[in-house]
Amino acid sequence: MLPWRRLLRPLAVLTLTAAALVAPTGAAQAASAPSSGWNNWSCKPSAAHPRPVVLVHGTFGNSVDNWLGLAPYLVHRGYCVYSLDYGQLPGVPFFNGLGPLDKSAGQLDVFVDKVLAATGSAKTDIIGHSQGGMMPRYYLKFLGGAEKVNALVGLAPDNHGTTLLGFTKLLPYFPGAEDLISTATPGLADQIAGSAFQQKLNAGGDTVPGVKYTVIATQYDEVVTPYRSAFLNGPNVRNVVLQDLCVLDLSEHVAIGLTDRIAWHEALNALDPAHAERTTCASVFD
């Protein structure tokens, strides 16, 4: 295959991923979740579900569009659910998750404190999609988040970076490309496998004591590649391949966060392991 054709496929994947995340509506970006649903600041956690859930969107995502499915799914099951926008760049509307990941982790820190203050809870649980499943690990490891978080659930997180189907390995052959990405979209640069951010994040171990980790990956992931780079090593870690739960599930990187009720069911199990029910293909009807 000609080199330029090899380059086009991952570029198309990146473009389609961004379009899928932003497509639902431009108006949704400016909207907020209904007060009767998630981001209901008067919600008080129940004895059955004592911890609020914070949802962290992925690259190019936002606090509404990324969670139009999962947030109501959790609210319907009795959880207090909150989502934030983070990683904004000056002069770049609609597209979030593009700023430096350490700064984004700081935004998450502030948001979690706000949620805990509003709900009166000592700890929260976090569910994140893509970058949103990886970036909170910086908050846990370097910003004191481990004292405030019980569990982190990642849906297709790029915990060890991504090669984006080999595209990132081609960057050195395009003079100035790496500097341009680092300057224009540092949040993307931080997610490249082997980046300085990834090295710092994973140095000395993937996990921190006191937090339970669940990773739900899909073998059809075309953005986090190889897909097993999502997996974590360490105590209190559960790594799951979506197709091991349901071989018929064809969800790729975007769908696992936006529409996949099988992934959501397994995430629900991670939030309440004492009442976990086996996740199967039939879980799509739960």
Dist CA 120 CA 141 (whole Å): 23
pLDDT of residue 164: 72
Dist CA 203 CA 212 (whole Å): 19
Residues 6+ apart with CB under 8 A from 151: 125, 126, 211, 212, 213, 214, 270, 271
Cis peptide before 50 (omega within 30 of 0): no
Q: Mean pLDDT, consecutive 10-residue segments, the chain of 286 residues?
A: 41 38 35 65 96 97 95 97 96 90 98 98 98 98 98 98 61 48 78 94 97 98 95 96 97 96 98 97 94
Judged by phi (left if over 0) then psi (alpha if -120 to 50, else beta), residue 278 lies in beta
pLDDT of residue 182: 58
pLDDT of residue 286: 87
Question: What's the chain's Rg over C-alpha atoms?
Answer: 18
Of 169, 135, 137, 131, the residue nearest 253 (C-alpha): 131
Phi, psi of 246 (to 5 degrees): -150, 105
Residues 6+ apart with CB under 8 A from 62: 22, 28, 29, 85, 94, 96
The predicted model scores a pTM of: 0.85
pLDDT of residue 129: 98
pLDDT of residue 10: 43
Of 30, 39, 102, the residue nearest 62 (C-alpha): 30
Strands 53-56 and 149-155: unpaired
Dist CA 245 CA 280 (whole Å): 5
Exposed / middle / buried, residue 91 (Cβ in 10 Å: 0-12, 13-18, 19+):
exposed
